[in-house]
Structure 1
Amino acid sequence: MRADLKTLPCVLAFAHAQVKCEQVMQRIFIDASATYIHLRRNSVLSGIQRVVVSAAAEILRIKSSDNVYLLVQAKDNCFAISLDGLSPEILANPTTLKLFLHGAQVPAMNFLHKYNKRKLKYIFHRGKFEFMAKYFPEKFERKTGYRAHDFLGRKGVETGFKSIKFEDIVKSDDVVISLDSSWDDYQIEGFEALKSRHGVKIFTMVHDMIPLVYGFTTAVGVQRKFINWLERSSSYTDIYLANSDSTREDFLKVHSNPETVKTVKLAHSFSNVSSEVSVSNYMRKAYPQYFETFPNLADMIDITSNLRFDLADDYVLCVGTLEPRKNNLRLARAWYNLSQKYPDLPKLYFAGRKGWGSDELEKFLSDTHNVNGLVKIIPSPSDEELAALYKNCLFFAFPSLYEGWGLPIGEGINYGKTGVVAANSSLPEVGLDMVVYCDEKSISSITSALESLLFDKNLRAQKEMLIRNTRLRTWADFAHDLIDIAEERR
């Protein structure tokens, strides 16, 4: 009996360790269905897709990698992608993520193929091109026709993956977090099947209520698709995740149970750029004094497109798809008004892909000769280019008509930049007191706000000081919140 009593603490400790281990072993499946399809044909991520990969990368940092999966709802099946052994940096970078997901579909860099059968020559020329890509990227790109950054980024990334049939590995205590825009009927049916057949917990992110609140700024047919998703998602969703208090408030106008809707705010962060394979990273290690003296040196080295010339000018930056809801036309008209008053006005850059309904903006720019050369569209910049644009701008402008969160505001603030922001929907939740607000429907209000930041350097400095003194929200914060909610529901 005494021996049993002596061993009791050990038994209890072992049992406690087992329980703790079971808690740690909870598996999370992150829906990436739309992102998976998008990366077949594209290398630049949209806002929602940026949320998916940023969250997945941070969850991968926090949890054991053999307990984190991507989930893809395809038309003919549902499969999981194990992230075991994959570094978060590869997952968070669009170039390497595309290579991982669709390795065979990434255009081959075939300038080394002629050496495939001659091993020593292959090793020699591979090393030669790696050296050239690191230290002489422009020469590399002229010689091969490929971006040096992409070539270096392919190193160490195993192309392709082995898909796992979800129903072969699913457990009842698994958690599925749907962060993607998986609104198609076959994807909805897939989630319904996951819930009815396997009983998994499903958390669904509501990114915005744009199709209902600002439906006239969306393409025809979006309302029907969105309402169908809203109605049917309630059959499989345990908890809805709203990305802002504003989105939660709008969602509760059509959802009757507030206890099942939690706000999980996104981040003031731009996390998808990995500098590990950049040319400047290698040079920084060798010549740190130059990078300390000249802060923009990394961008001068890494940006090899024509954008490097645009970075030399003073400019204000507007990031987002060129579509009516982003209010680009009013911003361009405000810039035109300023150009009539100030002869030495900085430039205005619109950075984003062309969306639907951008004809009016294009006509205005054509009629004014791009506001006499002061306005430029930078279509679909890469993450590296976008980061450089944020870092080197005077400030950003984001007079959107309505948002669920407002990623460009957080990204700009993350780089220490203030901005002109519309005072509607979720935007004050992101900008807080670190930006200047305007009435998005008034060109004169937008003009005045721009004017204040352009010519009142003290105001701009005050806002930048507020940014430096504010604890900004990170993607790690977002990921921790998701994990906490998942563990609460076990």
Structure 2
Amino acid sequence: MTLWIDIDDLLSHLLHHSRPSGIQRVVFEIGSALRNLAGHNVQFVRRGPGATDARDFRTVDWTMVETVFREATNSSIKPGSSSVNTPPLTVQALEQVAPEDTLSAFLRTESRILKGLAGLPRTFARLGLKALRTRLDARRARPELPTFSEGTQLADVARPGDVFLTLGSPWHHASYSQTVRWLRDDLRLSYALLMYDLVPIRCPEWCNRGIITTFRAWHQDILPLADTLFAISHATAKDVRAYLAEQDIGTDIPVHPIPLGTGFGLSDGRMSAEALVREPYVLFVSTIEARKNHALLFRVWRRILEDMPAERVPTLVFAGREGWLVSDFMQQLENADWLNSKIRFIRNPTDEDLRRLYADCSFTVFPSFFEGWGLPVTESLSMGRPCVVSNTTSIPEAGGPLGRYFSPYSLDEAYMVIRETIEDREGLAAWTAKVRAEFRPVPWEDSARAILDRVL
């Protein structure tokens, strides 16, 4: 039996964005762990050229995916940065990786990704090419790896009883239900889906209108076709079961929560040599969007500054990117002069930047209204930093007994917990030591085993 994993969403995201999102990182980590545990019983597919045929899925060499992903996440070069003194590497040099007429559909896509290196300094681009060639050489040196040619049609190699697993977020594919019906009816495969959350359904006020419509329609079409559902938390699993019942989709579809791996290797990665923030600070890692509740922290810091001398109040650092439904909030920050610079925004930090930010902060905060899990919470704890967090949805699962909690709807409660943490330096030091001594990261292999136990 083979587990076929759709990674088209992961590859498409890498093509159109400078860095992978949280969901794409989860797809990669679970995919890697599944491959490591089950070997060639796990294979990967993506849509064919044009992506118009709902039945056109092609096999993908995981070695190539690893190469592209690692280059995207390990780069210390900021998106958009360039070297004035060094000419960029030419596209022609990048295409020397392999002749264009021998590239598979996936490798041609990968070539387009690598062309993005052309705007970076020559030395970095050469490092990217060197890494790719090293991976290609390693793949050729291991004849046991490919069990069939890259780019093979899924219909030619899948067998009845195999399982097709969606780990990502292909909600923009309106024809996905046609794909699943073809998989089930024609190829006789079982279909499994990983659920992250139901935010656009449960809390549409925090989402872009297009996402609400697309997400709702996609899940109404797909969920009735699923043989097995996985969820990244017990809270999400409970919510999905309730939704299946509400929509009369069927309570007989099993929903299995899986343990979610801890972080994305930040604790083992490189760190920026220079401090990004010199003064004491509290860190909030998240895209700035309405659901994440940055506005609550703005009000908390404004009140703390009213009640305490400014020199005793740490800076509040937002680290992430600007998302949707926050234009008014961003204008409020500008109008308030970012509380006289007591709030700072570090845009699009690299992994090296994030590791430095975690290492230098006093503690972290995460006041989100709704989460499917709470990756920044476990990431903070894995970096040895205490986290003051929201007490809703799945977040207490992520923080466990090492977190300190408040209602994201209560300014008074958030103010009290955060101010006490700021003022009690000895208590914070003891809490930090407790986090470092007691937090146990969850290996991504645990996530993969929970899936394999149900499908293979």
TM category (shorter chain) comes to: 0.7 to 0.9
Q: Do residues 83 (structure 1) and 65 (structure 2) align?
A: no
Aligned equivalents of 1:476, 1:429: Cα separation in 2: 19
C-alpha deviation, 1:34, in angstroms = 2.2
5 Å matches for 1:430-441?
430-441=398-409
Alignment match of 2:131 (pick from 140, 150, 156): 156
For 1:474 and 1:433, how far apart are their aligned partners in 2?
Answer: 19
Q: Is the 8 A contact 1:57 1:91 kept in 2?
A: no
Counterpart of 1:95 (choices 72, 89, 93) is 72
Aligned ranges for residues 38-437 of structure 1 at < 5 Å?
38-64=13-39, 67-72=42-47, 74-76=51-53, 78-83=56-61, 85=63, 90=67, 93=70, 95=72, 111=88, 146=121, 151-158=126-133, 162-183=150-171, 184-256=173-245, 257=251, 260-271=254-265, 275=269, 298-300=271-273, 308-340=274-306, 341-344=308-311, 345-437=313-405
Match of 1:30 in 2: 5
Q: Indicate whether 1:461 and 2:429 are aligned.
A: yes
Identical positions, percent? 25
> For residue 480 of structure 1, what is the aligned residue in structure 2?
449
Instruction: Report if the CA contact (8 A) 2:284-2:316 is conserved.
Output: yes
Change (3 A) 1:239 1:115: closer
- When residues 114 and 483 of structure 1 are mapped into structure 2, their CA distance, relative to the original with a 3 A threshold, is closer
CA contact (8 A) 2:226 2:253 kept: no
Inter-CA distance 97–235: structure 2 relative to 1 (3 Å threshold): farther
Contact 1:269–1:474 (8 Å) recurs in 2: no
In structure 2, do the counterparts of structure 1 residues 428 and 484 end up closer, same or farther at CA, with 3 Å as the change threshold? same
Partner SS state of residue 348, structure 1? strand
Distance of 1:342 and 1:72 partners within structure 2: 58
In angstroms, what is the RMSD of aligned CA positions? 3.0
Call closer, same or farther: CA 1:66–1:83 in 2, change over 3 Å.
farther
Distance 1:92 1:457, change over 3 A: farther
Structure number with greater Rg is 1
> 1:397, 1:148 → 2: CA distance?
38
TM-score, normalization by structure 2: 0.78
Amino acid at match of 1:57: S
Structure 2: distance between partners of 1:157 and 1:430: 36
Structure 1 SS opposite 2:310: coil
Q: Which amino acid aligns with 1:246?
A: A
Unaligned residue ranges in structure 1 (runs of 5+): 1-25, 99-108, 117-143, 279-297, 301-307
Q: 1:31 to 1:97 in 2, by over 3 A?
A: farther
Change (3 A) 1:228 1:92: same
Over 3 Å counting, the alpha-carbon distance change for 1:38 and 1:445 in structure 2 is same
Residue of structure 2 in register with 1:442 after alignment: 410
Segment of structure 1 superposing worse, 61-70 or 146-155? 146-155
CA–CA distance in 2 between the matches of 1:174 and 1:323?
A: 40
User: TM-score, normalised to structure 1's length?
Assistant: 0.73
Whether the 8 Å CA contact 1:243–1:266 is kept in 2: the answer is yes
- Paired with 1:250 and 1:145, the residues of 2 have a C-alpha distance of 44
- Retained in 2: the 8 A contact 1:182–1:188? no
